[in-house]
Chains A and B, each alone.
Chain A
Amino acid sequence: MAILRPVFYLALLALIIAAPFIFPDFRTQLATLWVFIILSMTWDMTGGQMGYNSLGNILFFGAGMYIAAVVTIALAYDVGEYTNAFGGGTYKFTTTQYFLGMGLGLVFAGLLSAAIAWLMGYLLFQFRGPYFAIGTLGAAIAAGELVSNWEWVGGGQGIALPVYPGDFDVGKLFFYYLFAATGVILFIFLRWLYGTRFAGAINAIRDDEEKAEAMGLHTLRYKQVTWAISAFFVGIVGGISGFQNIHFEPLETAFQTINLGIFMVVCVLLGGKGTLWGPIIGAILFHVIKEVTWNYLLGWQWVALGALIVITVVYFQDGLMGWLARVKPEWFGERVQKKPDLIAEPAE
């Protein structure tokens, strides 16, 4: 068994690297799949591992998108003038400006999103239950509205970023690998994080916050840190998506509360909350179902999505992993184990 694990991960890594060449026609869909996977994994940090179900994580996606874009533009031009001349004017970006802007933009997107999460968390995490979910949902909706009224960043029209400097197909590969790298780093990070004492603490908050408080955990601080880490990755993904989309606008692309904002929750529920692999499996499952059925639903997609949420929540809330844990508890380490004779000693 021990030898199988590295083999499995190496094979997986090879598949991730080879995927855009195995399915050359689906490069954009594969990139989108990574967005789903990353958003699901980050949502699960608070929703699954900590028991705080945010309906507004999309806020960091939109924030990251705008931050990365503004940083890139600001390096070369005046942001207000640039967005004002939307569609017109001649604003050229050199290759250096593009990549430097993107690199710096993504760093800022991650850090500032984390900072926003930290600050919002200070207030929102002092509420339990419905108030947190509704507060986050409200915050995401309000953020979209505020940004679409903010002329400096292009108002309701949004922002048009420069196109990838180079071959169009290479650009597709570039964005695929950028998302994939973020996803792999996030996975490795979470694999480590979920083994730390910190993870134990946030699990304790999920299972019984009052007990966790009575045991002296710094509950508020841990909650803020978790959300900030989650927002860091969401912000980066949002930033990359901005460059990938080239043009984005506030309500439909950046702060898409009911599309991507709720997709990530459904993905996690499908796969299984509070597990490392659940969100990933759920995201793949959801994305495939969505890509296959979407076009046949003839305008009823969103109704079907709403129905899918309701059905998942009502009938299949434990998800795939939760179902497995129920039918195969021994796979998850539940067992009676006697004390080995070697270290046995009389109890009294």
Chain B
Amino acid sequence: MKIIEVHDVSKSYGGVKANTDISIDVEKGGITGLIGPNGSGKTTLFNSIVGYHPIDKGSIRFEGNEISKLPVQQIARLGLLRTFQQTRIYGDMNCVQNMLISLPHRKMTLREALTTNTRADHERAEHLLDFVGLYEKRYLRSGSLSFGQQKLLEFAMALMNEPTVLLLDEPTAGINPTLINGLIERLKRANSEFGITLFIIEHNMRVIMNMADRIYCLAHGELLAAGTPEQIQGDQRVVDAYLGAH
């Protein structure tokens, strides 16, 4: 079943066409990758989906409903969550507080929000912090963590939010290479254990080839190729795009 359907979407900034007639589907329950060289329009497409700017034409559907005109918070409340390329966490709070704030408020009534966090919430927060390897640092001010650790924290916060779909913008960028394998493992487990559909922008080819069921490749704002990792790897156009040849 398709959970996100991007159909014929175009977006330009002034005269620059960032996305042209892009159509992409994300399968429910799977891991979908989005690759492409710098400036190929990956983040623009992400921002169009999660509602950061209007699109010029086309349609974006989430679980069958049109979302291309909704603002960010309404889309987020449908269960479509994103992480940021430059991580965004609440830097003045400690990790546990960051996690507790990320409880899925969209599923709460005001009355439920006006209760204290339960023991189960705390345990879940600590469990997820353990899951991403930040357990020991859970009472440190999150702003004092390294960039890579903040990224892991943001990922844990996203899991805490119990999203239906999680859009990750370059999850391994800036992370210590020795930790990347662990992160791939955790992303896969998030997908298989928590049943979260993942849609990932990734620069690191090895990472995405290891995870995704299906990969889309953008170049110059247009959809260049789509297919399984094997197909993409064997696609001469993709190789050319990455090498800069035409």
Contacts and interface: CB of A to CB of B under 8 A. Distances in A.
B110 A200 contact: no
Nearest to A345: B130
A197 B116 contact: yes
Given A216-B73, A216-B77, A333-B139, A201 B90 contact: no
Contact of B138 (A204, A208, A337, A347): A337
A216 B138 contact: no
A215 B157 contact: yes
B101 A339 contact: no
Interface of B: 50, 72-73, 76-77, 79, 81-82, 84, 88-94, 97, 100-106, 108, 110, 112-117, 130, 133, 135-141, 157, 161, 182, 185
Contact of A213 (B76, B113, B133, B136): B76
Interface string A168-205: 00000000000000000000000001011110110110
Contacts of A198: 110, 113-114
Interface stretch (A28-36, A114-122, A217-225, A306-314): A217-225
Contacts of A210: 72, 88
Nearest to A339: B135
Looking at A197, A198, A208, A210, the one whose CB has the most chain B CB atoms below 10 A away is: A197
Nearest to B117: A197
B90 A203 contact: yes
Contact of A215 (B76, B97, B115, B138): B76
B113 A216 contact: no
Given A197-B105, A207-B91, A337 B77 contact: no
B176 to A, nearest CB: 15
Given A213-B76, A214-B72, A216-B104, A334 B141 contact: yes
Nearest to B163: A216
A335 B139 contact: yes
The 3 closest A-B pairs by CB, nearest first: A216-B76, A213-B73, A207-B90
Given A196-B113, A336-B136, A347-B133, A201 B106 contact: no
Interface of A: 193, 195-198, 200-201, 203-204, 207-208, 210-219, 221-222, 225, 329, 333-339, 347-348
A200 B105 CA distance: 11
B97 A200 contact: yes
Nearest to A337: B139
Contacts of A213: 72-73, 76
A196 B115 contact: yes
Contact of B136 (A195, A334, A338): A338
A211 B92 CA distance: 14
Contacts of A207: 90-93
Nearest to B137: A336
B226 to A, nearest CB: 27
A4 B55 CA distance: 60
B121 to A, nearest CB: 8
Nearest to B185: A348
Given A217-B105, A218-B105, A225-B110, A336 B90 contact: no
Given A200-B103, A336-B137, 7 more contacts: A208-B89, A214-B72, A216-B73, A216-B104, A219-B73, A336-B136, A348-B182
A337 B133 CA distance: 13
B113 A197 contact: yes
Nearest to A218: B105
Contacts of A333: 94, 139
Contact of B101 (A201, A218, A338): A201
Contact of A334 (B102, B130, B140): B140
B73 A217 contact: yes
A203 B116 CA distance: 15
Nearest to B97: A200
